[in-house]
Amino acid sequence: MSMFCYQCQETAVNKGCAGKRGVCGKTDQVADLQDLAIHVSKGLAYVNVRAHEVGVYDKAASMVVNDLLYATLTNVNFDPDYFVAKIEEILKLRDALESKLGNNLGATLPEAVTWHAKGSATDYAQKGYEVGVLSYTNEDVRSLRYLVIYGLKGMAAYVHHAAALGYVDDEVMLFIQQALASTLDDTLSADQLTDWVFKVGQVGVSVMALLDRAHTETFGHPQLTQVTLSPGDKPGILLSGHDLADLREILDQSADAGVDVYTHGEMLPAHAYPFFKQYKHFRGNYGMSWWHQPEEFEAFNGAVVMTSNCLVPPSDSYKDRLFTTGVVGYPGVRHIPGRAQGKPKDFSTVIALAKQCQAPAKCGEGTLTIGFARNQVLALADKVIAAVKSGAIKRFVVMAGCDGRHKTRQYFTDFAQALPNDTVILTAGCAKYRYNQLNLGEIGGIPRVLDAGQCNDCYSLVQIALALKDAFGLADINELPLSFDIAWYEQKAALILLSLLALGIRNIHLGPTLPAFVSPTVLKLLVDKFNLQQTTTVESDLPLVIAGK
């Protein structure tokens, strides 16, 4: 058995993980099963798109495809049994739809539509390798198709979290299947494939808007909030990931249990939503970004719940205190089942375990100020505009995206420290942990680091930029004193990048490496059209960013 995967920033030597295990920790078997699951999902998507044309569209199948895409995103699900079950479920859904369509399906069909399962998980994995990344021999076709697929994986994550709060857009669900099915069409030209790439970015903006609406209509608009970093003396439950629906249910169910609830990683922004301020046992934030899990989860001492990506393969020292839920999975880790018939998930086993644990060890101290989403920043618009007009603020720099383990990511800390005192950093995503505890000061009462929230809250940053464009009477967002110096790691970042490009934003600096799945030809297209650039050194990049180049 072997594998090939190059979807994340940490992929081996920036070319691709091969052999027995990926850098993320997934085995070759899991990687290959994921590739087969994507392949058969393309087949189901192809059939369901045709079903939509003749009026027998299966909405439930569209959500199955969506969540399968999410489960294959980096650091989400490492469980081979999960993917074997999903492959078989998808094949059953596909075959049932094919029966309904009959002669309406067409005569000449892609292999993903006609392939039928046979054999064991090992056979599935072998088939997955055969239909995986390297099955595309043309490098540029491969690059464009995987830009579509990886963008859809990021989109699927945001669709999943919005759906958990009851927000589903049927047009988006159909688009995901249409775009996925397009990767089976060998007749598409390079220009047509490129069109699909940018369509993914355009719909990505809509999906981030949908999730923003789900969050703000359910929990209120984020407010300026001081979040404590010091743990209390009670046993605790630690939530990592992105799913605010899970957080609400855990807080409800643990209200009288004598335990405190903490956020970790990308769950930090939850403290800024007015809804969550009602819970007296919602203590604070514990730890930093996702890759610190091994030492931070061990030191926490209590129950830990992974509600979404990004899961680091756990060590035995805390594996028995770790739970997964949703599309997250890991062999030997207890899983909290999904919601049945509209009822909340049952987190009683998490709470019972937490009550038996010791209080968290010290991990941090002091506070963080968060909650600079679009409503909060635009409430300060007059002050911000006045500061720009007076020259007190010379430039805004969007330093959003992902954190990661590579030492090269120290670049982002050093870059933030090197920025002149008349610049303001706009951030979202776990990249903020590289600089959100630096003492960078204020400009006329405006903090120099404005944290909008999770990675999907890059939408808030775009809305702030568009509002400032209108306030200054500019025709183009690129005319603003606004630069982008972005860190990426996984496929949600790929979607965010495509969305920024779809909005016409130029001169983005991206790092610490450029995606391995972007071929030289496709990279040239992005450079020529958008002046996309790789981050290099602080000394070289700083003058360009300050000049907006």
Beta strands in 210-281 (DSSP E): 225-228, 236-240, 260-264
Q: Are residues 159 and 248 in the same domain?
A: no
Residue range 417-460, pLDDT digits in tens: 999 999 999 999 999 999 999 999 999 999 999 999 999 898 89
Q: Which two tokens stand for residue 429?
A: 């995503």
Q: At what angle do helices 121-130 and 80-101 cross, to 10 degrees?
A: 70
Q: Which residues pair with 165 in a beta bridge?
A: none
Which residues contact residue 195 at a Cβ distance below 8 angstroms, ignoring those fewer than 6 apart? Answer: none
Same domain, 424 and 349: no
Buried b (16+ CB within 10 A) or exposed e, 306-342: bbbbbbbbbeeebeebbbbbbbbbbeebbebeeeeee
CATH of the domain at 251: 3.40.50.2030
Residue 268: give the domain boundaries: 225-355
Judge contact between 16 and 35, C-beta under 8 A.
no
Q: Decide: helix, strand or coil at residue 2.
A: coil
Same domain, 390 and 429: yes
Residue 158, domain member (yes or no): yes
Looking at the fold, whether 393 and 490 belong to one and the same domain comes out as: yes
**Taking every pair of C-alpha atoms in the chain, what is the biggest distance, in angstroms?**
71
Whether 291 maps to a domain, the answer reads: yes
Phi, psi (deg, nearest 5) at residue 237 = -120, 130
Averaged pLDDT, 146-170:
97
Residues 208-250: pLDDT tens digits? 999 999 999 999 999 999 999 999 999 999 999 999 999 999 9
Q: Do residue 452 and residue 540 come from a single domain?
A: yes
Whether residues 543 and 403 share a domain: the answer is: yes
Query: Which residues face 335 on adjacent strands?
Result: 324
Q: Would you place residue 1 in the very low, low, confident or very high pLDDT band (cuts 50, 70, 90)?
A: low
CA distance 358 to 440: 36
At residue 206, the pLDDT reads: 96
**The pLDDT of residue 120:** 86
**The pTM is what?**
0.97
In the block, which residue shows the tokens 């995606």?
Answer: 515
35, 133 contact by CB (below 8 A): yes
Q: What is the CATH number of the domain that holds 106?
A: 1.20.1270.20
Displacement of CA 452 from its chain's centroid (Å): 15
User: Which domain-ending residue is among 215, 248, 278?
Assistant: 215
Q: Which of 169, 188, 215 is the last residue of a domain?
A: 215
Over range 467-487, report the average pLDDT: 93
Q: Are residues 334 and 301 in the same domain?
A: yes
Domain contains 495: yes
206 and 239 assigned to the same domain: no
In a domain, 362, yes or no: no
* Residue 368 within a domain: no
Query: Would 99 be classed as within a structural domain?
Result: yes
Structural domain count of the chain: 3
Shared-domain flag, residues 206 and 263: no
Q: Are residues 207 and 270 in the same domain?
A: no
106 pLDDT more than 90: no
Q: Which residues of 477-493 are buried (b: 16+ CB within 10 A; e: fewer)?
A: bbebbbbbbbbbbbbbb
Fill in the amino acid letter for 527. Answer: V
Percent helix, percent strand, percent coil in the chain, to nearest 5 = 50, 15, 35
Average pLDDT, stretch 19-42? 97
23 Cβ contact partners less than 8 Å away, ≥ 6 residues apart: 8, 10, 11, 12, 17
| Percent of the chain scoring above 90 in pLDDT | 93
Band of pLDDT at residue 75, cut at 50, 70 and 90? very high
46 and 190 assigned to the same domain: yes
Under 8 Å between Cβ of 312 and 75: yes
Tell me: do 266 and 164 sit in the same domain: no
Q: What pLDDT, in 10s, does the model give residues 261-295?
A: 999 999 999 999 999 999 999 999 999 999 999 99
Q: In what order do the strands lie in the sheet with 449-451?
A: 449-451, 423-427, 395-398, 482-487, 508-511, 533-534
Percent of the chain topping pLDDT 70: 100
Domain end residue (candidates: 194, 215, 236)? 215
Rounded average pLDDT over 361-387: 92
Residue 107: predicted pLDDT: 80
421 lies in a domain? yes
**Segment (H or E) for 286:** none
Asked if residue 365 is part of any domain, the answer here is: no
Contact 182, 232 (CB under 8 A): no
Q: What is the mean pLDDT of residues 307-334?
A: 97
